[in-house]
Each structure stands twice: as structure tokens, then as C-alpha cells.
Amino acid sequence: MADWGSHLSTMRSTAPLVLNITNFVAMNVMANVLLATGASPAMAHAEEEIAEITALSDALTINFGTADAGWMRGIFRAVETARGQGIPWVLDPVAVGVSTLRKQTAARLIEMGPAVIRGNASEILVLAGQGAGGKGVDATDGVTEAAAAARALASRTGAVVAVTGAVDYVTDGCRAFSVANGHPLMPRVTALGCSLTGVVGAFLVGQPTLEAATAALACYGVAGERAGKCASGPGSFAVDFLDALAALTPDELSQMARVTPA
């Protein structure tokens, strides 16, 4: 049995500062999720200060779900700083298929070397040039339909590609893992998907990228399973999920992670 919990232990011992340029919907949820998991969140996007804040951070995540022109300039400045400082960063291409601006922005960002690209199946298919996109922020394609595209995208970009859904698929283009943890209520709580991107960023710090990203997804899914046992609906699930993240131990993650080579 792989010791996936060791990655959670390492992350918590580091308590990394994760800078998240994310959408308005996700900011509060994402901050609480990162705190519960054991990381330290920061939320900023102003181009006038973003380089300074990025340089102080251990990881960076990018989500352009509600970005405007000013945010886009801040995003590119942050990524340039992260590259210069050797700071790992994660791209979450939210609803990339819905507009030309998003497609062009994602294409530019991919060329700037993200450590991880995390999206749903429809988003990954768009990035790989094999799909038109989902229904807004929601996927209309299954994870298995995007597996080959994810491998191709990983091979082309050098990034680890994580396709999230009922069963997640994570690949570096050569190796791959499936993560079968999770709960049906997770997609019914706003911003939980966006918040996962921050957790992936936290796990990357000082750890091998493919294994760290896989462990982050397993951690998230296990917490979802535990929360689902207590919750009576999406509202109570949101609260129970934070508690489950905070209570999850590395040993429990190793025991409960349903991760298999793919």
C-alpha cells in the first residue's frame, strides 16, 4: 500500500503559503479549505503588488473564472515571478471553452510552464484541442473520455495533468493514477472544485509533482467521503467537509485512499 498520507504529513509540517489568484465565488471557500487542510492561504490579484506577494509565497494557483483585463495582467506578472523564483504553480482553466479570451489566456499560460494543470474533462479536452468545452463551468464529458487527451497534453507541456470527476485521472504523460475517492455531494457545493486547486498547490511544495498532486486529490476525496456520512444535504456537507479535512490524519489517508495505477 502506497503511503499517500506521507504527502499530507509533509505538507502540514511545511504549512506552505499558497497565493491564489482565483474568482470572487471561490475566495472565501478556498481560504477556509486551505486552512482546514493545513496550509496558509493568500488571496490577491492587483498587478501593482502581485509580483511582491508572489515572491513571498511557496506556491501559486491561477483560476481566471471572473477575471478582467487588469486581473489578466496581474496573472501574467505573478506567473513570470513564480517562474523566476522557481515557485511551483497550478493552472485551473475554468470554463476555458466559453470564450476566445479564456482560450487565448490558457494557451499563453500553458506555454509558461505550470507544474500542474487541473480541470474537468471538458476543460482538458479544450486545452488538448479535442473539444469545444462543457456547459459553462460544468463538464459534459467523462473523465475516461479525456484520459488520452490528458496524456497528450502532459507530454506536450511537461505539466502533470489532473482530470477531476467521479474518478480522477492524473498523469505526467508516462505514468498515471486513478483516484476513486469522493462523494456525490461535492459537485453540489459552489467552489469546492476551485478550492481543490489550492490544495494541489499546497501539496506540491517540496514534493514530487505527480505523487503530490495524486495525494492531494485523494485527500480531498477521502474528506468528501467522511463528510458525506454526516451531511443531510449540500449545506451541511460544506461545513462537515471543512471539519473532515481538518480531522483527517496521514494514517487515515493512507488507509482510505483508493489510488491505482492507470
Q: Which helix (H) or strand (E) holds 259?
A: strand 259-261
Task: Give the 3-state secondary structure of residue 62.
Answer: strand
H helices of the chain, where? 5-14, 27-37, 50-56, 69-85, 100-110, 121-127, 143-157, 192-204, 209-228, 234-247, 250-256
C-alpha cell, 171: 498523469
Does 164 count as an annotated binding residue? yes
Does 262 count as an annotated binding residue? no
172 vs 103: CA distance, rounded Å: 22
CA-based nearest residue to 36, from 243, 219, 193? 243
108 vs 6: CA distance, rounded Å: 34
Can you say which residues are annotated as belonging to the binding site?
43, 118, 164, 191
Can you say which residues are annotated as belonging to the binding site for ATP?
118, 164
Can you say which residues are annotated as belonging to the binding site for substrate?
43, 191
